[in-house]
Amino acid sequence: MGKLDNKVAIVTGASSGMGAAITRLFTQEGATVIAIARRREKLLSFIDEVAREGGKVLALSGDVAKEEDVRNAVNTAIEKYGRLDIVVNNAGLMDRMAPVGDVDDQLWNSILDVNLTGPMRMMRAAIPHFLEQGRGVFVTVASIGGLHGCRAGAAYTASKHGVIGLAKNVGHMYARKGIRSNIIAPGGVNTEITQGLQFDPEGGALCGAGMATNPRMGEADEIARVALFLASDDSSFVNGATLVADSGWTAY
């Protein structure tokens, strides 16, 4: 038996990196996963792989920055499978390491729309169904950038501090309704999040100054195993918690 047998989960940002690893592991543990991502072709290619492996997965092209796409994901879970048990807020954008004096409104809004407002929309859409079922689980992928001041630029740092506060608030507000909400704060993980970005020279140098204290980079499947713990009944007494997964980087 799998840890997530007969569960229905939504995973955002599922076409690559941590989202893909979480999707694959959840299906291996018995869940049916609705996988959401903006890059449709990449998502479909990945989902085909998971399906060939025997995973129960449905691909939805969507953007958590769009209310209609969020609602469509939740409604699809209810209409197609009759329930929704787990939401993994994984979709995220990295900024250009820019200090606040160099942040324009377009950069600020694009980062916060995905990293903070997107999870809020997903939680808001899922809560009524969780309440009706009497249980539900949120797992939000944040960052150690939400615990410290200079792991990235001003926009990303603000968004990750904000989403940790949001997820903690949800955990306490709905604890007596059978709903749990926990956070993963990864350290450096080998994903595509910085691919194609041109970092601000000064900001990049300042943010990168602490890399020498990082014991090692992590892999996406290591974060997926943390997500499985928080999504499953193994963590039934864990709520409103931030689980740091960084190989001890922040212990320095």
The overall average pLDDT reported for the chain is: 96
- Residue 252 falls in the annotated catalytic set: no
Give per-residue pLDDT as tens, 47-82. 999 999 999 999 999 999 999 999 999 999 999 999
Cβ–Cβ < 8 Å for 204, 152: no
Average pLDDT over residues 235-250: 98
Three-state SS sequence of the chain: CCCCCCCEEEEECCCCHHHHHHHHHHHHCCCEEEEEECCHHHHHHHHHHHHHCCCEEEEEECCCCCHHHHHHHHHHHHHHHCCCCEEEECCCCCCCCCCHHHCCHHHHHHHHHHHHHHHHHHHHHHHHHHHHHCCEEEEEECCHHHCCCCCCCHHHHHHHHHHHHHHHHHHHHCHHHCEEEEEEEECCECCCCCCCCCCCHHHHHHHHHHHHHCCCCECHHHHHHHHHHHHCHHHCCCCCCEEEECCCHHHC
Task: Write b or e for each residue in 95-125: b if 16 or more Cβ atoms lie within 10 A of its Cβ, otherwise e.
Answer: bbbbeeeebeeebbeebbbbbbbbbbbbbeb
What are the structural domain ranges in the chain? Answer: 8-251
Of residues 104 and 1, the one with the higher pLDDT is 104
pLDDT per position as a tens digit, 7-47: 999 999 999 999 999 999 999 999 999 999 999 899 999 99
Backbone angles phi, psi at 215, to 5 degrees: -60, -40
Reply yes or no on whether the pLDDT at 131 is more than 90. Answer: yes
Domain 8-251, CATH: 3.40.50.720
Judged by average pLDDT, the poorest of 13-27, 104-118, 177-191, 192-206 is 192-206
pLDDT digits (tens, 9 = 90+) for 181-192: 999 999 999 998
Q: Looking at residues 139-148, what average pLDDT do you find?
A: 98
Annotated catalytic residue, options 81, 156, 174, 252: 156
Q: What is the pTM of this model?
A: 0.96
